């Protein structure tokens, strides 16, 4: 009987050792998998950040060019503010920015003309209605000119042109 107990203990020990080995192998595979996932997440985060930086660079370049054009009166304030507002709304800032307070002139001009029709949509209105909208737009441009120019200075300071595009000349 004692021989049976010894054999049973040896068999039990072998089973426990086999299960322990298998558990250790699974834990090691889990560690390798976690490490791989962490590396992939890190690479993905780097790609996303690089993509964000590239996109922000292009947006900043466009914002800078439009702000320069408005400052040089090569672009009407209403058109420039519409374009700039859409671009800065898409810009991915590092921290939360209250755009309406930071660029009040641009925002107010945008808010004034955002519902006005453009291009082919204008053709649906009579000349009198178009003139009325244009008059409203011109008055808003006159009223907000000083604040828009201040905002253009802020935009030029905040959004730098990409290397090589700062020498673009508007004619």
Query: How buried is residue 22: exposed, middle or buried, by Cβ count under 10 Å (0-12/13-18/19+)?
Result: exposed
- Phi-psi map region of 91: left, alpha, beta (phi>0 left; psi -120 to 50 alpha): beta
Query: How buried is residue 154: exposed, middle or buried, by Cβ count under 10 Å (0-12/13-18/19+)?
Result: middle
Query: How buried is residue 86: exposed, middle or buried, by Cβ count under 10 Å (0-12/13-18/19+)?
Result: middle
Specify the number of domains making up the chain: 1
Q: Is residue 101 part of a domain?
A: yes
Residue 1 confidence (pLDDT): 66
CA distance 120 to 117: 8
Q: Is residue 164 part of a domain?
A: no
Q: Is residue 75 part of a domain?
A: yes
Residue 115 confidence (pLDDT): 87
Q: Is residue 166 part of a domain?
A: no
Q: Is residue 137 part of a domain?
A: yes
Phi first, then psi, for residue 53 (nearest 5°) are -65, -40
| 94 close to 125: Cβ distance less than 8 angstroms | no
| 135 close to 39: Cβ distance less than 8 angstroms | no
Q: Is residue 80 part of a domain?
A: yes
Residue 166 confidence (pLDDT): 57
- pTM here is 0.73
Residues 6+ away with beta carbon under 8 Å from 57: 162
Tokens of 36: 């791989």
Residue 171 confidence (pLDDT): 44
Residues 6+ away with beta carbon under 8 Å from 152: 67, 68, 70, 71
Cα 73 from chain centroid (whole Å): 28
Containing 57, the helix (H) or strand (E) segment is helix 2-71
Q: Can you give the residue range of the structural domain that contains 118?
A: 3-158
| 117 close to 78: Cβ distance less than 8 angstroms | no
Residue 49 confidence (pLDDT): 92
Per-residue pLDDT of the chain (171 residues; tens, 9 = 90+): 688 998 999 999 999 999 999 999 999 999 999 999 999 999 999 999 999 988 998 999 999 999 999 999 999 999 999 999 999 999 998 888 899 999 999 999 999 998 888 878 888 888 898 899 889 999 999 999 999 999 999 999 999 877 766 555 544
Q: Is residue 43 part of a domain?
A: yes
Q: Is residue 86 part of a domain?
A: yes
Residue 164 confidence (pLDDT): 66
Residue 127 confidence (pLDDT): 87
| 162 close to 60: Cβ distance less than 8 angstroms | yes
């Amino acid at each position: 009987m004692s021989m049976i107990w010894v054999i049973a203990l040896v068999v039990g020990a072998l089973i426990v050792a086999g299960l322990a080995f298998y558990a250790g192998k699974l834990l090691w595979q889990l560690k390798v998998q976690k490490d791989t996932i962490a590396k992939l997440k890190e690479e993905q985060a780097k790609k996303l950040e690089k993509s964000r930086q590239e996109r922000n660079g292009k947006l900043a370049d466009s914002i800078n060019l439009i702000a320069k054009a408005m400052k040089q009166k090569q672009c009407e304030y209403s058109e420039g503010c519409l374009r700039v507002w859409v671009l800065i709304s898409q810009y991915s800032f590092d921290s939360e920015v209250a755009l309406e307070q930071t660029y009040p002139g641009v925002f107010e001009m945008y808010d004034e003309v955002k519902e006005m029709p453009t291009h082919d949509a204008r053709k649906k209105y009579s000349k009198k209605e178009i003139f009325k909208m244009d008059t409203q737009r011109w008055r808003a441009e006159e009223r907000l000119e000083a604040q828009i120019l201040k905002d253009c200075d802020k935009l030029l300071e905040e959004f730098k042109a990409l290397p090589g595009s700062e020498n673009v000349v508007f004619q």
